[in-house]
Amino acid sequence: MSETTHTLRITGMTCGGCSGRVLRVLQSTPGVLHAEISHETDSGIITTTDQLSTQDVVNIVASTGFGVTA
């Protein structure tokens, strides 16, 4: 199984609760192996299996209500 690392800019997070919400959603997604989300730097580094594309990860993060770009 190959892994892919996606680096995203995530906007609109103002606290640890915000980044925690994004993290919980990602951790419950099949194919996500590891995620680090920071509201301080407006960033996310997500490691997935090759089953998830960057666009898939962007869509997952966007579903939490925050702005996101790859």
pLDDT tens for 54-67 read 999 999 999 999 99
Rounded (5°) CA angle 50-52-53: 95
End-to-end Cα, the chain, rounded Å: 23
What's the pTM? 0.94
d(CA 16, CA 29): 20
pLDDT for residue 25 is more than 80: yes
Mean pLDDT of 20-24: 98
Domains of the chain with bracketed CATH = 3-69 (3.30.70.100)
Using the predicted structure, report yes or no on whether residue 1 has a pLDDT greater than 90. no
The total number of residues written for the chain in this structure: 70
How many whole angstroms separate alpha carbon 33 and alpha carbon 42?
A: 20
Q: Phi and psi dihedrals of 50, rounded to 5?
A: -70, -5
